């Protein structure tokens, strides 16, 4: 058993917190949209900075590790935003299907009620 004072317990609590926070971000539409916006803005800002005033520091011949890490972070931000956008699209389609099904059932029920009267 891990006590709360050990670093393993702190890591476990931190991991649990991160998982719960990510669930909240994924489930709440406004939060999800805000995170997508922030990710895209961050990726654009990094791409702009890497192409302009950070060009010297990110020279692949002089600093290959820095160059790779920088562009991997840019790609990670972009892919994260893309995956959130795909998730958002799937959630919107699911909600539309549920709404359509509910409206059909409501329509059929109202037709049955009218024909029965």
pLDDT digits (tens, 9 = 90+) for 75-106: 999 999 999 999 999 999 999 999 999 999 99
Q: pTM here?
A: 0.73
The lowest-confidence range among 17-21, 43-47, 105-109 is 17-21
Residue 69, φ and ψ in degrees, nearest 5? -60, -45
Distance (Å, rounded) from C-alpha 101 to C-alpha 50? Answer: 49
Tokens matching residue 47: 């791409």
In the block, residue with structure tokens 């299907």 = 97
């Amino acid at each position: 058993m891990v006590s709360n004072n050990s670093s393993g317990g702190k890591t476990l609590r931190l991991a649990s917190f991160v998982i719960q926070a990510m669930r909240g971000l994924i489930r709440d539409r406004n939060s999800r949209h805000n995170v997508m916006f922030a990710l895209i803005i961050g990726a654009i800002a990094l791409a702009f900075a890497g192409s302009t005033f950070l060009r010297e520091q990110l020279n692949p011949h002089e600093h290959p590790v820095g160059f790779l890490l920088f562009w991997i972070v840019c790609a990670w931000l972009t892919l994260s935003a893309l995956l959130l956008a795909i998730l958002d699209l799937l959630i919107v389609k699911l909600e539309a299907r549920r709404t359509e099904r509910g409206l059909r059932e409501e329509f059929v029920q109202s037709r049955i009620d009218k024909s029965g009267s």
